[in-house]
Structure 1
Amino acid sequence: MVREQYTTATEGTEIERPENQRVCKIGIYGWRKRCLYLFVLLLLIVFLVNFALTIWILRVMWFSPTGMGYLRVMENGLYLDGESEFLLPLYAKEIRSRVDSPLLLQSPHNVTVNARSSDEEVTGRLIVGPKMVEVQSPQFQINSKEGKPLFTVDESQVLVGPDRLRVTGPEGALFEHSAETPLVTASPFQELRLQSPTRSLSMDAPQGVHIRARAGGVQALSQMDVVLHSGDGRLVLDAETVCLPELAQGTPGAAGGSRGLYEVCVCPDGKLYLSAAAADTTCHENSQVCL
């Protein structure tokens, strides 16, 4: 810009103009101006790149006013639709699936669910692995829809709650120690077998043991002895016919040989044997069987 000096003049006066006029330049010129324009251009490029990256991130991550991608923020919590992968621990008060789909927890190694106390101590743990499902808890319990306990396990006992426990394996149920139950029965049209391959089999009850077969027979087989003992009562064999085919026989007498009748005798040690029947007992005549 050029600054000019003017002087007021009246009529009849001569206007004197200065010989040397001063010129003052105001602004940015030269290399400073070019640097300023270059800096503004760089800022504009950075702004455009940041804006494009922001739009790309919003597009890729599926940001929306209600959430991000399959994750939506609801009034009562978070809603996740589809498969998701969590690389870090997930803390939630409750995890539920939709009404029309199941809840699936999947891991290439195992799935571990821990319950902690206020002191961060693990009070219960469920581990689902590729070869075993492990539960670490003072008590494990399975309930029905009505809340009735079906299966309960703790350090001292195992409780089975249903009315009937059914074992469908071909080898049956194996008890290494004692088993206590009020009733042992087989399925319809199936036989019931109680056996001990290498040891003895014992059935005890404070008020009696009842063995009943309504549509078949009862067999008691043993490699050594079969002992039926009653402490303060009687031993009752209630049947139309009681057969003891392998009893030892004494020397048959005339009456026994002619009629084929025998009487059952008992040795002092409880052994049974047959003796030919007569008008009077002949057990003492054949007592050599007890020797």
Structure 2
Amino acid sequence: MVREQYVSTTGDDGVPDTIPDYLYKIGIYGWRKRCLYLFVLILLVILVINLALTIWIVRVMWFNPEGMGLLQVHPDGVRLEGESDFLFPLYAEEIDSREDSALLMHSTENVTLNARNENVTGRDVTGRLSVGPKKVQGDVQQLVIKSMITKKMLFQADGKEVVVGTNKLRITGPEGAIFQHSVQTPLLRGEMSKDLRLDAPTRALFMDAPDEVRVKALSGHFSATSKMDVLLRSNEGLLVLDAEMVRLRNLRNGTAGTGGAQGLYEVCVCPNSGKLFLSKAGVTSTCSNSQQC
């Protein structure tokens, strides 16, 4: 503890004065002063470094009053000029390109577009379109393609059916089309100067219609080939063969003179109506003697 000693003196007025032995000086001296100056110097260096880094970041990121470099912030959204790389998912309500350029998205792996519902906790994905290097895959409940001009539905597919809304469906593959199940269509037509073939390699081929079935070959031949039997059957009505010439090849010939006793019959044709009927075979033709025409 510092103790102060006082010496009494007498002044001109006869009043004794006290003079302290030690005088106190106010301030920081010695090593404390040097440490304070060093601390201030370090703070000044840190301040200069931070200011330099801030200026460098502003110059590199191209900050400006409208945004950041090529990224401009507007009241109705954000506008990005040039090419940009996104390392993490991008969430946006709408993405538009400039009027004079296309919107291109490049990726070394794939480009995936996800549509999510309003579930705040899970944000479940309701639709997904993934474009990869080898395939394009879409996961949706219903796929609808409409015409931009007429707004007409062109193609629709869901878990139950596929609907093609165009007036004409053209299949240009050299192998045609393969259907594993039934096909319902009002018209089936081949291309010009090409054949139309309906093949069933291992099963039967059925053509059904509530009213009628028409098969036309306007400039060629119509051929029906089967390994087994070809049946033309009409439950109600006639079976009409309308042609200039009708040929029945490879028919068996009966023995002359046996007649109907052996169960042999002759195929006859009415000259006026073209009706076919059977007549008991004889030594000569018995068609003219029949009353079927």
| Both proteins in one fold, TM over 0.5 | yes
8 Å CA contact 2:115–2:126 kept in 1: the answer is yes
8 Å CA contact 1:97–1:103 kept in 2: the answer is yes
Deviation for aligned residue 1:163: 0.8
Q: Residue 126 of structure 1: which of 117, 126, 129 is its match?
A: 129
User: Which residue in 1 is equivalent to 2:139?
Assistant: 136
Q: Residue 195 of structure 1: which of 186, 195, 199 is its match?
A: 199
8 Å CA contact 2:279–2:286 kept in 1: the answer is no
Segments of structure 2 that go 5 or more residues without pairing to the other structure are: 1-11, 13-17, 258-265, 270-275
Identity %: 52
1:249 alignment partner, SS class: coil
In the TM superposition, what whole-angstrom CA distance separates every residue of 1:130-174 from its partner, at most 9, and x where no partner exists?
333222222111111122111111222111111111111111000
8 Å CA contact 1:276–1:282 kept in 2: the answer is no
User: Which residue in 1 is equivalent to 2:55?
Assistant: 55
User: Which residue in 2 is equivalent to 1:232?
Assistant: 236
In the TM superposition, what whole-angstrom CA distance separates every residue of 1:76-116 from its partner, at most 9, and x where no partner exists?
10111222222332221111122222222333333322222
Deviation for aligned residue 1:129: 2.9
2:223 alignment partner, SS class: coil
**Does residue 1:157 correspond to 2:151, yes or no?**
no
**Does residue 1:174 correspond to 2:182, yes or no?**
no
Q: Which has the higher contact order (CA 8 A, sep 6+)?
A: 1
Pick closer, same or farther for the CA change 1:231–1:158 going to 2, 3 Å: farther
Deviation for aligned residue 1:28: 4.1
**Does residue 1:37 correspond to 2:37, yes or no?**
yes
Deviation for aligned residue 1:275: 6.5
Q: What stretches of structure 1 move > 6 A for 4+ residues in a row?
A: 18-24, 270-277
- The within-5 A match list for 1:1-80 is 25=25, 27-80=27-80
Pick closer, same or farther for the CA change 1:274–1:141 going to 2, 3 Å: farther
Pick closer, same or farther for the CA change 1:136–1:21 going to 2, 3 Å: closer
For the residues of structure 2 that align with 1:183 and 1:25, how far apart are their CA atoms? 115
User: Which residue in 1 is equivalent to 2:6?
Assistant: none
Deviation for aligned residue 1:38: 2.4
For the residues of structure 1 that align with 2:60 and 2:281, how far apart are their CA atoms? 103
Give me the TM-score of the superposition, normalised by structure 2.
Answer: 0.76
8 Å CA contact 1:142–1:152 kept in 2: the answer is yes
2:79 alignment partner, SS class: strand
User: Which residue in 1 is equivalent to 2:260?
Assistant: none
Give me the TM-score of the superposition, normalised by structure 1.
Answer: 0.76
8 Å CA contact 1:249–1:273 kept in 2: the answer is no
User: Which residue in 2 is equivalent to 1:289?
Assistant: none
Pick closer, same or farther for the CA change 1:249–1:204 going to 2, 3 Å: farther
For the residues of structure 1 that align with 2:286 and 2:197, how far apart are their CA atoms? 43
In the TM superposition, what whole-angstrom CA distance separates every residue of 1:235-276 from its partner, at most 9, and x where no partner exists?
2222222222233333468xxxxxxxx8448xxxx9999978
Segments of structure 1 that go 5 or more residues without pairing to the other structure are: 1-8, 10-17, 254-261, 285-291
Deviation for aligned residue 1:186: 0.9
Alpha-carbon RMSD across the aligned residues, in angstroms, is 3.4
8 Å CA contact 2:111–2:131 kept in 1: the answer is yes
Figure out how many residues of one structure are paired with residues of the other and give that number.
258
